Structure 1
Amino acid sequence: MSTITRTLTNLWRVGIKDYFHQLQNIGDTKAGTLIGVDRLGNKYFENNEELPLRTRWVDYKSSDFDTAQIEPGWHAWMAYTVDKPPSQDPLLAYKRRVWEDTDAKTILNYTATRGAYKPYSTCVTTTLYPSVY
């Protein structure tokens, strides 16, 4: 939760449209410098005047966001593992591998959905014949 003066200052810095966008998506208002944009269109910001470990944040392109939509290089920068973002460090920058699909938007994460991978189980369940102990 932020103070009223901080909220009004951020309203002045980011404008009305981005102010309400931030309130709707992240629940707080933040003003910072745009560091970079990844392949999916997510925008990464930084403001060193914020509280420690809250100086970096992401503005997802889609409203149905998931943390799996952050690329590994950007995730390392967001978690303070590296100092330079992938837009400045060529080792962290995304390079398409031979086996990957050419379109990044077709790679989906099916975890916790009906399409998630479920291995075939060979275990015998004991729900039909519960033990009487």
Structure 2
Amino acid sequence: MSTIPRTIANFWRVGIKDAWRQMQYIGDTKAGTLIGTDRFGNRYFENNEELPLRTRWVDYKVHDFDAAQIEPGWHAWISYSVNSPPTEDSLLAYKRRPWEDTDAKTIPNYTFTKGAYRPYNTTKAKVTTWEPVAAERK
């Protein structure tokens, strides 16, 4: 959480609409320079006046965001693995591979949901449960 003067200053810098959206989704107001936008519409910002390791952030296009919606080059930049963003470094920039669809879409992360991958086992279990067999009384 930030201080009240910093929050009010960011309100003036980003505007009421963006400040309200930031308070709803990240719980803080942040103002910085737009570094770039990826093919999914996510916007990436940087402000070197923030606290260390909080200088870069992403503004997701969709409200139900997931970290899997960030491209690998942008992920490397936002996690401080590289200093230059994909807009400046051609090795990090996205290039469509021949086997990929032409439509830009992400595969959501279904972990801990009904759609999560569960492997199917065809081998017989090595350990079986014991079921007692009781003879009828006479």
Aligned-partner Cα distance in 2 for 1:84–1:11: 28
TM-score if structure 2 supplies the norm length?
0.86
Instruction: Please say if residues 66 and 109 of structure 2, whose CA atoms lie closer than 8 Å, have aligned partners that are also in contact.
Output: no
Alignment check: 8 A CA contact 2:69 2:106 kept:
no
**TM-score w.r.t. length of structure 1:** 0.89
Residue 107 of structure 1, CA deviation: 3.6
Deviation readout 1:70-115 (Å, 9 max, x if unpaired): 0000000001000110011110000011111111225443333322
Does the 8 Å CA contact 1:101/1:107 hold for their aligned counterparts?
A: no
Compare CA radii of gyration and give the structure with the larger one.
Answer: 2
Number of aligned residue pairs: give it: 130
Q: CA deviation at 1:125?
A: 8.3
2:37 maps to 37
1:15 CA drift (Å): 0.5
What amino acid sits opposite 1:66 in the alignment?
Answer: D
Residue ranges of structure 1 left out of the alignment (5+ in a row): none
Between the aligned partners of 2:43 and 2:126, the Cα distance in structure 1 is 48
SS at match of 1:12: helix
Q: Is the 8 A contact 1:48 1:55 kept in 2?
A: yes
CA–CA separation in structure 2 for the residues paired with 1:45 and 1:116: 32
Per mean C-alpha deviation after superposition, the further-off stretch among 95-104 and 33-42 is 95-104
1:53 is paired with a residue of what secondary structure? coil
Secondary structure in structure 1 of the residue aligned to 2:99 = coil
Q: Is the 8 A contact 1:68 1:109 kept in 2?
A: yes
In the superposition, relative to structure 1, how do residues 125 and 56 fare at CA in structure 2: closer, same or farther (>3 Å)?
farther
CA distance in structure 1 between the aligned counterparts of 2:103 and 2:97, rounded to whole angstroms:
12
Distance change in 2, residues 1:79/1:126 (3 Å): same
Q: Please, what is the CA RMSD of the aligned residues?
A: 1.9
Where does residue 52 of structure 1 map in the other structure? 52
